[in-house]
Structure 1
Amino acid sequence: MLHTPIHASWTNQIEIFFPIGQRKVVQPNDFTDLTAVRDRLRAFEDRYNLTAQPFQWKFTTSDLGDLLARLDRHTLADRQEESSVSLAA
């Protein structure tokens, strides 16, 4: 069983969990049969559930506002650059 935060979409958490399993368990693909794959995945699941800990979100709404403002500045600068290039042509 995978315990996900109650405030997050479970699909987002699954999309994070499966690539971890792929990188740490399935690659390299050196299995002799499906039983070996199953056993390694179950061992990883057990270990992950024992060591997994909740994390504290550090990205605040003010951080989001700052990020959006920076993106707006870049978008505006890109538009101005495109305008000056098209005028020069």
Structure 2
Amino acid sequence: MVHTRFHASWLNPVEVFFSVVQRKVLSPNDFTDLDEVEQRIVEFEKRYNATTTPFRWKFTRDDLHALLARITEHERQESMIEPPRAA
């Protein structure tokens, strides 16, 4: 079983990056072939990596371990609850 956060905040930086690529690199769609698309993306990647700063994660490894422990305990307690019997 995979547990993901409902608001998926870890996806926000990825979505922002692809939005920037769409607006700055892929639009307008005036490419003559796939090699030109690749070249423009590679050039953007070099420029982007030269000017950006790393994202500082606030969710630590210890936070992850604590979250997984809470989930495991919750699942353990739920599995011990007996379903109501039909009358």
**TM-score by structure 2 length?**
0.49
Looking at both structures, which has the greater relative contact order when contacts are Cα pairs under 8 Å and sequence separation is at least 6? 1
**TM-score by structure 1 length?**
0.48
Indicate the structure with greater helix content: 1
